[in-house]
Structure 1
Amino acid sequence: MTLFQAIIIAIVEGLTEFLPVSSTGHMIIVSSLLGINKDEFTKLFEVCIQLGAILAVVVLYWKKFFVFDKNRLNFYVKLFVAVLPALICGYLFSDIIDQMLESPLTVGITLLLGGIVLLFVDNWFKEPTIDTDEKINLFTALRIGFYQCIAMIPGVSRSAASIIGGMQQKLTRNVAAEFSFFLAVPTMAAATGYKILKGRELLMANPDKLNLLLVGNVVAFVVAMIAIKFFIDSLKKFGFKMWGYYRIVVGLAIIGAILMGYKLEI
């Protein structure tokens, strides 16, 4: 992986991680177009630059994480409860998840089906009752956490799964989106830490790769800051339908490329 390729992939990660469009699906397309060799470092890089993206959430919502008051402990407890299903499922089914990650057709199909769902989701949940994250109780947080587990299927999108789960639990669109951002912090931090732990020998043997990781995280951080603000504004104005159409186009593009014999590597 070259520096230019690392920057492009980091831009893709920052743009798509918090949008309901699947960062995995987009990195498949971009990596293939760039001709990036899917070696062990590339796979590690694509996970570890999530750290930059989640730091964008912490900075944008720093009061939620660092201004301590009587509600702050409840906030952290709810995040802990909500992340538990993903941690347990990720540990128990890691081998199955890795096998699914090797199937670009799975990504194309889930992008397409998820896009169809997003076309109708605004009409399914029209009477939300939870308009602040303080009103989310532990059982609601846990249920949203189970929805997030669906995103372990490549192409589903962690953001889409957790936001839809939140709306199903009577959260408004904006609150569901923001809680999805908050939930991303422990979820992605755990995934990144686990990946670094597994790849520590590779990084120690190739210290020059650390520069690519640093650049990737910085770029992902800056781009994610912009993407999060854009997504919240777009939700207020347009809802999810525009993202549904977008997912359908990308999903069909991946499926079409596979049917035409184009080799996509994950």
Structure 2
Amino acid sequence: MENLIEAIILGVVEGLTEFLPVSSTGHLLLLGHFLGFESNGKSFEVLVQLGAILAIMLVYFRRLLDIAMRLGSDPQARRFVLGVLVAFLPAALIGALAHGFIKTVLFNPVLVCTSLIAGGLVLMVVDELELEVKHEDATRFPLSMYLKIGLVQCLAMIPGVSRSGSTIVGAMLLGASKRAAAEFSFFLAMPTMAGAFAYDLLKNYKTLTFDDTILIVVGFIAAFCSALLVVRLFLDYVSKRGFALFAWWRIIVGMVGLAGLWIVG
């Protein structure tokens, strides 16, 4: 029963943080560490993301369907899909090659806290810059820009950096508006998270027990429900107020995490 409650808590945190530039994996690793939650091969932290994937697909269902329906007749729709694939490939390649190293070495609470603080400072600085906005539509970035955002996303292989945070910062530095940067982060999340889910499941499904599966399903449902709330509110918020709140949140969580590790281990 205790593990189920912990799975629900972690699932809710996953959904609330997955699409914010605060690192959902970092939050799950830290919270799991202090709760004493141990998942088989650290698979829970990856597989529970399926709930957030389905939430973003539901919110964007009409737009995704529209793009799919236009693929045969609209070069712009084909170009956007190609752009998402181009942005996805660097992380897919590095993730496959470094999967074991990431899970065994980088899933480290101290590294997570350090990355949270450093990423918060970067996000704060970028949010204050007077950047020239060249692109207001996430579906019309140049192909070279999609590739550069994909390369920046690879920094998120380090837990605590944040996949959404790295892609948003990268897109803004390349001329995207805050809203367009956040929206493309959503689109890029779909193949990236789905790929991470499929690869981790392929690697670890033989070692997952029935109890592991129950916890993952419970976490998935909690992540789905909480992610629905965040996705609907996030774009409007950052369009009006920027990312300062999330930068401060990262720094505070990182510092509290370091203090907690120093006090209790």
TM-score (normalizing by structure 2): 0.91
Between the aligned partners of 2:54 and 2:80, the Cα distance in structure 1 is 18
Between the aligned partners of 1:214 and 1:244, the Cα distance in structure 2 is 31
Partner of 2:20: 19
Between the aligned partners of 2:22 and 2:177, the Cα distance in structure 1 is 20
Q: Is the 8 A contact 1:100 1:153 kept in 2?
A: no
Which of 128, 135, 142 aligns to 1:137? It is 142
Between the aligned partners of 2:55 and 2:174, the Cα distance in structure 1 is 26
Q: Is the 8 A contact 1:144 1:162 kept in 2?
A: yes
Answer with 53-62 or 68-77: which moved more. Answer: 68-77
2:224 paired with 1:258: no
Between the aligned partners of 1:177 and 1:17, the Cα distance in structure 2 is 12
Q: Deviations over 1:208-248 (max 9, x none)?
A: 54333222222211111111122212202221111111111
Partner of 2:86: 81
| Cα offset, 1:158, TM superposition | 0.5
| Cα offset, 1:84, TM superposition | 0.6
| Cα offset, 1:32, TM superposition | 3.1
TM-score (normalizing by structure 1): 0.91
| Cα offset, 1:35, TM superposition | 2.5
Q: Is the 8 A contact 2:131 2:173 kept in 1?
A: no
| Change in 2 beyond 3 A, CA 1:96/1:214 | closer
Partner of 1:66: 65
Which of 213, 218, 238 aligns to 2:216? It is 213
**Percent identical:** 41
Partner of 1:246: 249
Q: Deviations over 1:68-109 (max 9, x none)?
A: 221332222111110011011112333432344342111111
Between the aligned partners of 1:259 and 1:209, the Cα distance in structure 2 is 30
| Change in 2 beyond 3 A, CA 1:125/1:218 | farther
Between the aligned partners of 2:108 and 2:185, the Cα distance in structure 1 is 26
Q: Is the 8 A contact 1:106 1:154 kept in 2?
A: yes
Q: Deviations over 1:114-171 (max 9, x none)?
A: 1111212123252211001232121110000001001111110001000001111111
| Change in 2 beyond 3 A, CA 1:33/1:15 | same
Between the aligned partners of 1:194 and 1:134, the Cα distance in structure 2 is 27
Answer with 222-231 or 150-159: which moved more. Answer: 222-231
Partner of 1:40: 40
Structure 1 runs not aligned, ≥5 long: none
**Equivalent residue of 2:43, what SS?**
helix
Which residue identity is paired with 2:125?
F
Structure 2 runs not aligned, ≥5 long: none
**Equivalent residue of 1:128, what SS?**
coil
* RMSD of Structure 2 on Structure 1 (CA): 1.7
Answer with 60-69 or 142-151: which moved more. Answer: 60-69
Q: Following superposition of structure 1 onto structure 2, how do residues 101-250 of structure 1 map, counting pairs within 5 Å?
A: 101-203=106-208, 206-250=209-253
Between the aligned partners of 1:24 and 1:170, the Cα distance in structure 2 is 27
Q: Is the 8 A contact 1:64 1:72 kept in 2?
A: no
**Equivalent residue of 1:201, what SS?**
coil
| Cα offset, 1:176, TM superposition | 0.5
Structure 1 runs of 4+ with >4 Å offset: none
Which residue identity is paired with 1:126?
L
Aligned residues: 258
| Change in 2 beyond 3 A, CA 1:255/1:125 | same
Between the aligned partners of 1:127 and 1:48, the Cα distance in structure 2 is 38
Q: Is the 8 A contact 1:125 1:168 kept in 2?
A: no
Answer with 96-105 or 183-192: which moved more. Answer: 96-105
Which residue identity is paired with 2:192?
T
| Change in 2 beyond 3 A, CA 1:226/1:185 | same
